[in-house]
Amino acid sequence: MITCKLISTDHSIPDQIIKAGQTLIIGRNQQCKIKNLFCSRNYCKIQLLSNENKLLVEYLKDDRTVQMKSGEFINGPGFSYRICMIHDSKNASTMAQVMNDEISWTELESGNVMIGSLFGGYDCKSDKIAGFDFDFTLVCTKTGKSFPSDENDWKLFDPRLTGFIQKLVEQQGYRFVIFSNQLGISKGKVTVDMVRKRFENSMKDLCIERIPCLILVATKDDIYRKPCIGLWNHLVRNIQPDVEINLKQSFYVGDAAGRSKSALKKADFSASDLLFAMNIGVNFLTPEQFLIHVAKYNGFDYQQKFEYSSSLPEKCFKVDDKTKESNFLLTNRLTGEKIPNIESILPTRVHCIIFCGISGSGKTTFYENYLQPLNYVHVNYDQLKTIQKCQQLMKKSIQEQRNIVIDNTNIERKSRQQWINLCKENGYEWIIFHFELSLKHIFHNNKFRQLTGIHKSVPDVVIYSQNKKFESLQDDECNRQFIVNFNQKFSQHDHQKLYSISGGDKKKLKNKKDKPSSSSTSTLAMNDGGMKTKTVKTKSEKDSKSSKDNNKKSKIKKESSSSDGKVEKKRKKKQEEEDEHIWKWWEEESPGEGIKWKTLEHNGPVFPPDYEPLPKKVRFYYDGKHFELSSEAEEVAGFYARMLEHEYTSKDVFNKNFFKDWRKTMNEKERELITDLKKCNFHELNEYFKQQSELRKQMTKEEKQQIKLKNEEIVNKYGYCIVDGHKQKIGNFRIEPPGLFRGRGEHPKMGKLKKRVQPEDIIINIGEKVKIPTPPAGHKWKEVRHDNTVTWLASWTENIMGNVKYIMLNPSSKLKSIKDWQKYEKARELKKYVNKIRSDYRADFKSREMMKRQRAVALYFIDKLALRAGNEKEEGETADTVGCCSLRVEHITLHSEKDGKQYVVDFDFLGKDSIRYVNSVSVEKRVFKNLKHFIVDKSPGDDLFDRLNTSSLNKYLNSLMDGLTAKVFRTYNASNTLQQQLNELTKLDMTMPEKILAYNRANRAVALLCNHQKSVSKTHDKQMENLNGKIKDKKTQIKELKKQYKETKNDAGAKEKYKKKLKTLEEQLKKLEVAKVDKEENKQIALGTSKLNYLDPRISVAWCKKWEVPIEKIYNKTQRDKFRWAIEMVGPDYQF
């Protein structure tokens, strides 16, 4: 029995199934779901002829009938189906089984290789392998992006692939194997489940004719990742060890071939597929070449020539016999003499050998092979971590009169000179060994390090940076300089084989210092018609061009050379931003009421390092005598010593709290002796910390780069999580270190000890059925939860205020963005209710109930002045900050008339974060009368609203509108003010600086409303002085130019030139004057707080789009990431 499946080629409409004897009407009907209006409801009728394995297709409009077979296409307006005949004899007893067949997945124990088998692909052995890459070879994205947005973002690279692969397997006896790199799994960009689903969804169409398929997937950057041949070796050695592969007749198809950019195609991102085939020794074809070849020769013809190895990517290093072994070890750099062994050049007296070479050039390997056996002291930065420790070890070795080797990069002359100076000072002889390798060779060595683990590999960026900074050896540095000829030695045969594999799959080197050979070479120029050879001119041929051509171009080159690098860098950075995957969560269905996520994976928090005791020479004194503290007490003493010169240590409350908590950390002996803080001398501790601070400032670029790289490693591991299959940044993944609490303003708990947070204090929140983060050794988590109704990843209770602290996602994440969007939507919703709410509270101004009158006045303040509601606090536990509901009589002063205004209220109190709120406001008459009534018979310290609290106010607000709080009022008024101000201030004829000034003024109005203040910068006056100087200089230039213009009489060309220059100078002057006004107006106003927390970003985005202002002028990169949803969501017509 035969069943036919009609497969939609672009997946825009459902596939259709026809059984023997059945008919199907294709058209714009309910079953087919074709939407194209040019397709009639009954376009064609299809019947399956079971005896002939054919379809009878009757086109109803033009009364035409044709017979079609498996593999052919039925096309019409808005649809295209590929015909696929499915026989029950192919182990498919029912159609349901055929449709539900899934890939069987297994993994290697190491977890770095996934193995999939479809239709018996694991057991289907052959001596001929038809190998294929997966992405952009068998499938590509529907969206056209470089990376799929989800597991459904795919389509077949070409519909003919199924028929061609079926022919290779069934007629030519090939084994169909997919070799795929999926490094995104180990980097956390995609999950294993997403990758598997993408394979399963696409392979059902690719192997619809039940083609046996074996899938080998490399998930990490190791020996299995192409172009390394670990996947191939696993196939040959473990899956079919009893079958010898015919390499001549086998082939591999992939898109990563190192091709250059053409008019029809982007440049290949790498050459990993080309190198993979080369390393195995099989024929290589691009996907386009494969399709043309199979169609032309009706299958694969291995006797045809495939010229692909005439050129390699610039970064690729090809190992040859000269590389593997050299007859001599060293070359005298000054004389050119060849040195066969190291013993012949070593001095007889004590000496120091200084290595010089980029990371990965073989310095440490050379030391281990040749100098370690001779008992040299090994001074190595990677082991000792700081230059100071390296110097200390060298000085110690000099005292012991031992031979020394400085195994550092020493790429700059000053870094070499410091070792030379030490040698001179101590009468040591010195020799310099220069490890001179090409960048290609270094990258190859680095990859070998990574794959074998013999030495720690170095990030590419470090190699590029060192190569750029390298300062060549000078003759005067040393009279004995030797170039080391690289000679790789192998302890294992597998390592030797691995080293001979071609790497360097990236297409281009970033640095031009490592130039390719100047001899004529051939490069690959590939197009849809296949591969052809293109000759590139050599340097000498280029130099032979006429001087006339060179002179024509010299001016252009000079003008462009200085800017090209920057332009290219900006383009690249911009392209990276554009290519960055944007999770359009607002286009997805909501996961359900209260559900924040479906799946959540993360690696837990990062804890601060354990305390390291101070050096013995750094001493603490009590009452003039040295006293050695226990480790725990010394750590807390160090917190205080760091702040010794800070104003906090002059405050009695701070000192009292510190001393009380410090004594709790002391042992019995320490508590018995140390009873008075004034007798404690922390001076040496303070000096030590200042010295350490200075040393950090004096660190070399190399040391700073190492620290930066370590931090990047930590961020890559702990700074991201996977939410519903999408990689998201974590905001605060580091646990706060212990220290002394400061608080804002005159906080009563300042000086108390913030204790070290332990894993036993931490609650982990994570998805089910995922790996639980591993706590530090010897510890365990307090609790592990799987609560998908909250957005935090970890929590703990801090010991000062007893508040719960959380590790949350970054503001740019989906979960945070949804909260932002909901916040502003709630504020917009208030527009429907605000007029009624205002009329209600105005009516309550005259209520007989005192509580209602107080509530009405409080609401008036919250609405008109954007005051915070305020929270109830325990007396003496927190700083004396207040909000609207907690105002006291002493915080207001009433004036019947002031400065020509009636009913004026002066406010003066400490608001949130101890920011002083000072404002003089003219209020409505009823409000003023109520306030006078509220303060009758009350002392200054009594509550102004004694019948009201925050809880009752918010409960009342929620009864007026679901979810309404004082903060919603604040957000509404802030956003509404910005919208009104922008509409008023922005004019048609404004220049760009004037538009920015208008926006900042609108933002300033909101900041004033919300009392967002800041202290005047210490450098403000200097900055204003500089601006005034620039304005004065610009005016002088304009004056001079006008004078020159008037003096130019008959030269029209010169006059036009002066006019243009004058216009440019006047524009620059206008820009400076606008900048001056902007800086002066905003010197005490914090614009950022309201912009990030209270202003609907869609207002700003729409304004930018309407007035053609680059969004970068309003939001920086971090802010654009936070408000990506707003940037993508709205157009220029949005109004709050």
Average pLDDT of span 53-69: 84
Does residue 1094 have an active-site annotation? yes
β partners of residue 947: none
Q: Is the pLDDT higher at 454 or at 287?
A: 287
| pLDDT tens readout for residues 572-590 | 444 444 445 567 776 666 6
Q: How many whole angstroms separate alpha carbon 933 and alpha carbon 853?
A: 10
| pLDDT tens readout for residues 89-115 | 444 333 333 444 678 888 876 678 999
**Alpha-carbon separation of residue 1002 from 99, 174, 815, 983, 1133 (angstroms):** 61, 71, 29, 9, 18
Predicted confidence at residue 1086, as pLDDT, reads 65
Predicted confidence at residue 752, as pLDDT, reads 93
pLDDT greater than 70 at residue 779 = yes
Predicted confidence at residue 689, as pLDDT, reads 92
β partners of residue 1062: none
* CB 643 within 8 Å of CB 649: yes
* CB 947 within 8 Å of CB 877: no
Residue 946 has a CB neighbour count (10 Å cut-off) of 14
Q: Is the pLDDT higher at 454 or at 441?
A: 441
The set of residues, in sequence order, having a beta carbon less than 8 Å from that of 424 and lying 6+ positions away, is none
The structure tokens listed for 1049 are 């009489």
The DSSP string of 1102-1128 is: HHHHHHT--GGGTS-HHHHHHTHHHHH
**Alpha-carbon separation of residue 826 from 594, 751, 823 (angstroms):** 16, 40, 5
Q: Is the pLDDT higher at 2 or at 862?
A: 862
Assign 520 a pLDDT band (cuts: 50, 70, 90): very low
Pick the CATH number of 321-499 from 3.30.70.120, 3.30.420.40, 3.40.50.720, 3.40.50.300: 3.40.50.300
**Alpha-carbon separation of residue 266 from 261, 468, 512, 530, 565 (angstroms):** 5, 28, 22, 16, 21
649-652, long-range: CB within 8 Å, 24+ apart, which pairs? 651/750, 651/751
Q: Where are the domains of the chain?
A: 1-98, 101-307, 321-499, 600-606+721-810, 621-702, 834-960, 976-1129
Predicted confidence at residue 536, as pLDDT, reads 34
278 closest CA partner among 294, 256, 262, 261: 256
Element (H, E) at 1008: helix 992-1009
Backbone φ and ψ of 516, nearest 5° = -70, 170
Predicted confidence at residue 110, as pLDDT, reads 67
pTM of the model: 0.45
Q: Phi/psi class of residue 326: alpha, beta or left (left: φ > 0; alpha: ψ in -120 to 50)?
A: beta
Q: What is the DSSP pairing of strand 530-536 with strand 521-527?
A: antiparallel
Distinct helix (H) and strand (E) counts, the chain: 35, 41
* CB 118 within 8 Å of CB 212: yes
| pLDDT tens readout for residues 972-1031 | 988 988 998 899 889 888 888 889 888 988 888 887 777 666 566 677 777 778 888 888
Residue 841 has a CB neighbour count (10 Å cut-off) of 23
Assign 384 a pLDDT band (cuts: 50, 70, 90): confident
Pick the CATH number of 101-307 from 3.40.50.1000, 3.40.190.10, 3.60.15.10, 1.10.645.10: 3.40.50.1000
Pick the CATH number of 976-1129 from 3.20.20.10, 3.20.20.70, 3.40.50.720, 1.10.132.10: 1.10.132.10
Assign 523 a pLDDT band (cuts: 50, 70, 90): very low
Predicted confidence at residue 529, as pLDDT, reads 34
pLDDT greater than 70 at residue 530 = no
pLDDT greater than 50 at residue 1095 = yes
353 closest CA partner among 416, 426, 436: 416
Query: Exactly one of 224, 370, 1094, 1115 is catalytic; which is it?
Result: 1094
The DSSP string of 793-856 is: SEEEE-TTT-PEEEE-B-TTSHHHHHHHHHHHHHHHHGGGTHHHHHHHHHHGGG-SSHHHHHHH
| pLDDT tens readout for residues 149-193 | 777 777 888 888 888 898 898 888 899 999 999 988 887 778 888
Predicted confidence at residue 519, as pLDDT, reads 29
* CB 1106 within 8 Å of CB 1051: no
| pLDDT tens readout for residues 477-497 | 998 999 987 766 655 555 555
Assign 229 a pLDDT band (cuts: 50, 70, 90): confident
Task: Assign domain 600-606+721-810 to its CATH superfamily.
Answer: DNA Topoisomerase I, domain 2 (2.170.11.10)
Average pLDDT of span 939-965: 89
Share of the chain above pLDDT 70, in %: 82
Predicted confidence at residue 163, as pLDDT, reads 85
Predicted confidence at residue 856, as pLDDT, reads 93
Write the single-letter amino acid at 516: P
Q: How far is CA 463 from the centre of its chain?
A: 21
pLDDT greater than 80 at residue 818 = yes
Domain 1-98 has CATH 2.60.200.20: yes
The region of weakest confidence among 150-154, 158-162, 651-655, 887-891 is 150-154
pLDDT greater than 50 at residue 889 = yes
Q: How many whole angstroms separate alpha carbon 290 and alpha carbon 137?
A: 10
* CB 1129 within 8 Å of CB 1099: no
Angle at 851 between CA 846 and CA 852, to 5 degrees: 40
Sign of CA dihedral 549, 555, 556, 560: positive
Domain 834-960 has CATH 3.90.15.10: yes
Assign 547 a pLDDT band (cuts: 50, 70, 90): very low
The region of weakest confidence among 409-423, 509-523, 545-559, 963-977 is 509-523
- Domain pair 1-98 / 600-606+721-810, same fold: no
Task: Assign domain 621-702 to its CATH superfamily.
Answer: Yeast DNA topoisomerase - domain 1 (1.10.10.41)
For the beta sheet containing 2-8, the strands, ordered from the edge strand earlier in sequence to the opposite edge, are: 16-19, 2-8, 79-87, 73-76
Assign 864 a pLDDT band (cuts: 50, 70, 90): confident
The structure tokens listed for 119 are 């239709």
Q: How many whole angstroms separate alpha carbon 451 and alpha carbon 228?
A: 9
Assign 147 a pLDDT band (cuts: 50, 70, 90): confident
β partners of residue 355: 433
Coil, helix or strand at residue 628: coil
Mean pLDDT of all residues in the chain? Answer: 81
Q: Phi/psi class of residue 271: alpha, beta or left (left: φ > 0; alpha: ψ in -120 to 50)?
A: alpha
For the beta sheet containing 804-807, the strands, ordered from the edge strand earlier in sequence to the opposite edge, are: 783-785, 763-765, 794-797, 804-807
